[in-house]
Structure formats: structure tokens, C-alpha cells
Amino acid sequence: MDNGKKELKKPKYDLNSISNNIYQEFHSCISIKDGRSRSYEGILLYGINDLSLLNDLRNKISNLFKDNNLDYLVISSPTLPNEFPNFNRNDKTLGYQIIDVGWFIQEGWLKVK
């Protein structure tokens, strides 16, 4: 803080709170009335080798979709598939919101046991 700027504190998530956060962010994106929101197919979670954690996160987000009557896929994979449709707001192709779960862990945002 030598430069007089206030340091921003990183958010800390557990599995439930990050699931809710990812769901809320996705829901915000699909609720935009610009026509492109219909281009989302779902969410791809990747970036960690812990399949148990990855699957727990996938299941929690899937359950939030079901609880809110939303029909979107949540897919999990340790690595990012080579040919996977990534949603891009600048074009009208269908795709997935891609989330690197490993980045959240590495940055200290997601607390894992």
C-alpha cells in the first residue's frame, strides 16, 4: 500500500458459495434481453484433477438449475477439451460459459479441504 491505493480483498468461497456465485453470474447472462442470451448451452467446469470436487461443484450448480426450472447442461472435465463450443457474446454461435476452477483455487478464492 505504498502507493496510497487501497488493497482489494479477494473473495473467499466454499463449495456452496462458489456454486451459488457461478449460478447467479450465469443466470444474469441468460437474462439479458439482447437475443444473444439464447446462445448459451450451459457451463463447462475444468482445470482440476480432483474429480470428486469437480463433480460436486457440477452437481450443486445442476441442482440450482433444476430448482429454478432452467434446462442447461453443466459439464465437468479435468482439462479443457480441444474442440469445445465457447460462448462468445460477439457472435451468434451456440456455446458454453467456460470456467477454470483451478484458477479460483490457485488464486486463493476457492477454499478446498
Quote the CA–CA distance of 84 and 17 in Å, as a whole number: 27
SS3 20: helix
The pLDDT, as a whole number, for residue 17 is 94
Give residue limits of the domains in the chain. 15-30+37-106
The string of pLDDT tens digits covering residues 37-88 is 677 889 999 999 999 999 999 999 999 999 999 999 999 999 988 876 665 5
Q: What's the maximum distance between 2 C-alpha atoms anywhere in the chain?
A: 50
8 Å CB contact between 43 and 13:
no
* Chain Cα centroid distance, residue 11: 15
